[in-house]
Amino acid sequence: MPNITAMFWDLGGVLLTNAWDHTERCAAVMQFGLDPTDFENRHKRVVAAFERGELSLDQYLDETIFYTDRPFSREVFRQFMFSRSQPNPEALALARQLRASTRYFMATINNESTELNLYRIQQFHLREIFDLFVSSCFVHLRKPDSAIYRLALNLTQRVPGECCLIDDRPENLVPARQLGMHTIQMQGVDALREELKRLGIQVDRRA
């Protein structure tokens, strides 16, 4: 049985809804009457820089939305983007319980742009759960680049075999596994509890 001392969590698709993924962008297309092909093409050109913290939210919007006149304001669109973030209450409760146990160093490894990441940290009180945020916008690296996982290990001074990464996307788990970290693909809270139990991490069913 591995001796897990550090747990790394993705945010979108695990503890919260995604910040600005395909579903959220499709909702924006419907809400604001955007040209879906044009919007997606523009988004794809800048998303890597946006999530690495190299573009601010306003710069992203200049590139993807407000390169032309619109019948809605920048602030209305920004507020729509923020409103798409919703909690996964069961998963958050589970993470809080693990934090309260004091057995594990709790951190994130997540791809998010700066303003949305900071909003989500504040809105969902994530500083109460996590000791460290290895967010793409802060460290200028994105999953699945193996460098972001190595950085997380270096920052926490853990060996890979002591660490577990929870992420909803299989492609983000591969580099972590190659480094020797334990990995769990998020497929619901009940399944997560079972996978944690398999690694010797006991979680009360009431979490």
Q: What are the tens digits of pLDDT across the range 77-128?
A: 999 999 999 999 999 999 999 999 999 999 999 999 999 999 999 999 999 9
Which pLDDT score, from 0 to 100, does residue 202 have?
80
Q: Decide if domain 22-83 falls under CATH 1.10.150.240.
A: yes
Instruction: Decide: 145 and 179 in contact? Cβ < 8 Å.
Output: no
Q: Domain coordinates of the chain in residue numbers?
A: 6-17+87-198, 22-83
Which residues, in sequence order, are CB contacts of 155 under 8 Å at separation 6+? 107, 132, 134
Percent of the chain with pLDDT over 70: 98
* Three-class HEC string of the chain: CCCCCEEEECCECCCECCCCCHHHHHHHHHHHCCCHHHHHHHHHHHHHHHHCCCCCHHHHHHHHCCCCCCCCCHHHHHHHHHHCCCECHHHHHHHHHHHHCCCCEEEEEECCCHHHHHHHHHHCCHHHCCCEEEEHHHHCCCCCCHHHHHHHHHHHCCCHHHEEEEECCHHHHHHHHHHCCEEEECCCHHHHHHHHHHCCCCCCCCC
Under the banding of pLDDT at 50, 70 and 90, the label for residue 1 is: confident
Provide the pLDDT confidence category of residue 207 given band limits of 50, 70 and 90.
very low
Q: What is the mean pLDDT of residues 177-193?
A: 97
Residue 205: which pLDDT band, with cuts at 50, 70 and 90?
low
Alpha-carbon gap, residue 77 to 90, rounded angstroms: 29
Q: How far is CA 18 from CA 60, 61, 182, 196, in A?
A: 17, 18, 23, 23
What's the CA gap between 67 and 143, in Å, rounded?
A: 29
Read off the pLDDT band of 140 (50, 70, 90): very high
β partners of residue 163: 6
C-alpha 62, offset from chain centre: 24
Regarding predicted confidence, which is higher, 65 or 206?
65
- CATH H-level superfamily of 6-17+87-198: HAD superfamily/HAD-like (3.40.50.1000)
